[in-house]
């Protein structure tokens, strides 16, 4: 891969290598699109999709080649997040990204060689399915309130507690699990790799959601589950920092995908409005819609530039990008609610049917202001950064 990259101010961020990678991701995503409605109705999609993504290298873009990864940077992940939108199924995309960008990066960064070979490498190949276990009934964005405990007993941790809102939860082979190993607060949290074939682990119920339906979301229970202490990731009681860093990546891919999704929705609304006539002319020729659509395209371009700026900072130094990533997720997420609403409105009655993709986009996009930290949490983070 070439090391050359044109400066961002020249508006030519992506190299030929990036564009070739885009084509690979887009071809894969487009092959999934015909099944979008079917998989939403089923509430799950075939496991083979993980293997297909793994065969293309999409589940370990930034991971070390030693464990099957591609060893690339965040600009390739940006291409991945943007082109996956072509799958027409946010649930599938979320499940794949939990595997590639939420559950495994921590293992890649601080896992032992044994853990990487036993869990990371098979996950990158798509042979094992991964989940991230942080959220609980009593707290999602408030990571410091985690109550699931892990008590050291000889060479094992004994785990008790409950997790909620866990994507891939009904069929994960392992979970990157946040547990309390010390005192209350952020200083007592550790991370473990938890194989789901352990005695005492069981799945509660698969949660029914209004959107992202093809991704399975579950509540999980742990009753005296024993996991080898050597499966711990990093030092004991040092997990909070790694969870917070991991959140930045999760929020960044969410913003990237959200921006691309908005653009696709507006372009398709323009096409629909051009083809659909009312009162003797195309809908898209009415001033109210012309103005609304170009306003949205302008705002989307602003969101893209903010998001790319956040990618650039995070790519260079993850420690410097929290402010920009938080802004990008907040701005893109809130903007998407308005953009998708208007695109659906332009479709009229057809927009309220499942015949057009805009109806699925409308239910799916609602999650962007909730998952990975609500918009309200994003604002709280920013007020602290700005000293307010």
- Determine the number of helices (DSSP H) and then strands (DSSP E) in the chain: 13, 10
DSSP class of 120: I
**Cβ within 8 Å of residue 232, ≥6 positions away:** 157, 190, 191, 192
Instruction: Provide the 3-class DSSP secondary structure of residue 236.
Output: coil
Give catalytic status of residue 250 as yes or no.
yes
Encoded tokens for 331: 């701005």
Question: How many other β-carbons are positioned within 10 Å of the β-carbon of residue 177?
Answer: 30
Catalytic position from the list 136, 250, 263, 324? 250
Encoded tokens for 56: 């293309």
Distance, in Å, from the CA atom of 55 to the CA atom of 65, rounded to the nearest integer, reads 14
Instruction: Provide the 3-class DSSP secondary structure of residue 23.
Output: helix
Question: Phi first, then psi: what are they for 326, rounded to 5°?
Answer: -60, -45
Buried b (16+ CB within 10 A) or exposed e, 92-131: bbbbbbbbbbbbbbbbbebbeeebbebbbbbbbbbebbbb
Residues in the chain: 388
Biggest alpha carbon–alpha carbon distance for the chain: 79
* Nearest alpha-carbon partner for 47 in 158, 102, 128: 128
Encoded tokens for 131: 């989940």
Q: β-strand 174-180 against 130-133: which pairing, if any?
A: parallel
**Cβ within 8 Å of residue 344, ≥6 positions away:** 351, 352, 358, 359, 361, 362
Given a contact cutoff of 8 angstroms between Cβ atoms, the answer to whether 178 and 134 are in contact is yes
Tell me the catalytic residues. 250
């Amino acid at each position: 891969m070439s090391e050359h990259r044109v400066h961002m101010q020249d508006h030519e961020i992506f190299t030929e290598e990036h564009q070739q990678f885009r084509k690979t991701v887009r071809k894969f995503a487009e092959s999934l699109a015909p099944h979008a409605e079917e998989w939403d109705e089923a509430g799950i999609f075939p496991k083979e999709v993980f293997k297909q993504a793994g065969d293309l290298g999409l589940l370990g873009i930034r991971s070390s080649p030693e464990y099957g990864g591609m060893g690339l940077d965040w600009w390739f992940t940006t291409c991945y997040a943007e082109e996956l939108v072509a799958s027409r199924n946010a649930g599938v995309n979320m499940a794949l990204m939990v595997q590639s960008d939420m559950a495994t990066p921590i293992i890649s960064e601080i896992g032992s060689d044994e853990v990487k070979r036993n869990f990371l490498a098979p996950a990158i190949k798509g042979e094992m399915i991964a989940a991230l276990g942080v959220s609980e009934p009593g707290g999602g964005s408030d990571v410091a309130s985690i109550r699931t405990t892990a008590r050291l007993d000889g060479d094992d941790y004994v785990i008790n507690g409950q997790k909620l809102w866990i994507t891939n939860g009904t069929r994960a082979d392992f979970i990157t699990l946040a547990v309390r190993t010390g005192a209350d607060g952020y200083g007592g949290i550790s991370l473990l790799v938890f194989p789901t074939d352990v005695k005492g682990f069981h799945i509660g119920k698969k949660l029914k959601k209004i959107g992202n339906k093809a991704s399975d979301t579950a509540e999980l229970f742990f009753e005296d589950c024993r996991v080898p202490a050597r499966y711990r990731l990093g030092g004991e009681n040092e997990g909070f920092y790694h969870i917070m860093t991991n959140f930045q990546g999760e929020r960044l891919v969410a913003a990237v995908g959200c921006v691309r999704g908005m653009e696709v929705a507006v372009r398709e609304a323009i096409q629909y409005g051009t083809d659909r006539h009312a009162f003797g002319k195309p809908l898209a020729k009415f001033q109210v819609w012309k103005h609304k659509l170009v306003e949205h395209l302008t705002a989307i371009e602003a969101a893209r530039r903010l998001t790319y700026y956040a990618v650039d900072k995070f790519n260079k130094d993850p420690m410097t990008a929290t402010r920009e990533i938080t802004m990008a997720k907040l701005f893109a997420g809130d903007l998407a609610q308005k953009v998708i609403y208007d695109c659906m409105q332009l479709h009229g009655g057809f927009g309220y049917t499942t015949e057009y993709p805009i109806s699925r986009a409308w239910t799916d996009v609602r999650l962007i202001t909730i998952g990975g930290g609500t918009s309200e949490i994003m604002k709280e983070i920013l007020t602290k950064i700005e000293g307010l």
